[in-house]
Amino acid sequence: MAAEMAQQPQVIAALTGRRTELVRQITSILPDDLSGIVLLARGSSDHAAVYGRYVLELAAGRPVSLAAPSLHTLYGAKVDYRGYLAVAVSQSGRTPEIVTVLERMKAGGARCLAITNSPDSPLGAAADMVLDLDAGVEEAVPATKTFSAQIVAFALIAEALGAVPWNGSDWERLRAHVEVVLGDDTPARRVATIIGNSTGLVTVGRGILYSAALEAALKLKETTSILAEGYSSADLRHGPIAVATGGLPVVAFIAPGPAAPDMHELMSWLDRRGARVLDVSEEVGAALPLPGGLPEMLVVVPAIVRAQQLALWLARHRGIDPDAPAGLSKVTLTQ
């Protein structure tokens, strides 16, 4: 896991180095009159798709939804996808239900794009275009470099769809920020000792960083077996906030932007309730600090790298091998 985390700057640089050609290819497969976009994924890839929902809908000005694969594989739904772009995301490209559903979306009239680290996989064969992450082999069960690459891939799709609030120089800045985070894991080690042997933990974000909260919770569950739950700040207020007492660790993801005031208000509320708030942000005194200066929509990458570091060091603190968590496998063959 640690070795694959360290490869993320190079993976990002290689993927963004193909930016012009990838945007051209994506543009070439878009429906002539785009009605909407549907995203298809499971696991970590599903959390990348949550990010995709935000950036693609903002760029395209069209509705973007997350597909429910079971509607097709279990209930036999027949859906008209004419005018839609279907984007399937899978590290391995071999999850049977994702392949099957993409094939059905294509039969229903969708133009199909696969984001995968295995371009010659069944998923790649089912798509009109493959966006190859080209991240190299990922052997650890917890996805790290492929998740970051999926986030970058969605941002590149957004560039093909419309105006975006970042430019070419921001991609180089993103790679540099990830290098800075990887170069100092002291904050993650410190927070791992604070969390210690806690049995539960909450992660929270809003807007663009909601996906980071979801993925961080999964990484912590996978690597440490802690009961970690990811929420948007809005959903946390609708009942679950009742558990945020007695020193419960809460990892909060914050970036400058429209969601920041709500997150600050929530952090103050949680602190008053007795939760232990640990922020991932570029603010002075952050528990898990980030470099400043990136557009909000790209902050998710260095933020999730901080979460990966935390998962790694919390696993080590608990005497667990983060590369091979008990009961898990790299490829999950759901139907």
Spatial separation of the C-alpha atoms in residues 258 and 206, rounded to whole Å: 9
Spatial separation of the C-alpha atoms in residues 62 and 78, rounded to whole Å: 22
Spatial separation of the C-alpha atoms in residues 308 and 7, rounded to whole Å: 13
DSSP of 92-135: SS--HHHHHHHHHHHHTT-EEEEEES-TTSHHHHHSSEEEE---
Q: Is 111 helix (H, G, I), strand (E, B) or coil?
A: strand
Spatial separation of the C-alpha atoms in residues 106 and 151, rounded to whole Å: 24
In 3D space, the residue among 72, 78, 76 whose CA is nearest the CA of residue 109 turns out to be 78
List the structure tokens of 180. Answer: 């800075």
Which secondary structure element, helix H or strand E, spans residue 147, and what is its range?
helix 145-161
Is residue 106 flagged as an active site residue?
A: no
Spatial separation of the C-alpha atoms in residues 267 and 248, rounded to whole Å: 13
In 3D space, the residue among 202, 302, 299 whose CA is nearest the CA of residue 260 turns out to be 299
Other CB atoms within 10 A of residue 27 CB: 12
In 3D space, the residue among 113, 90, 106, 95 whose CA is nearest the CA of residue 29 turns out to be 113
In 3D space, the residue among 6, 17, 297 whose CA is nearest the CA of residue 178 turns out to be 6
In one letter, which amino acid is 101? V
In one letter, which amino acid is 145? K
The DSSP call for residue 257 is: S
Q: Among 106, 145, 219, 330, which one carries the catalytic annotation?
A: 330
Q: Is 71 helix (H, G, I), strand (E, B) or coil?
A: helix
In 3D space, the residue among 212, 256, 262, 258 whose CA is nearest the CA of residue 233 turns out to be 262
Active site residues: 330
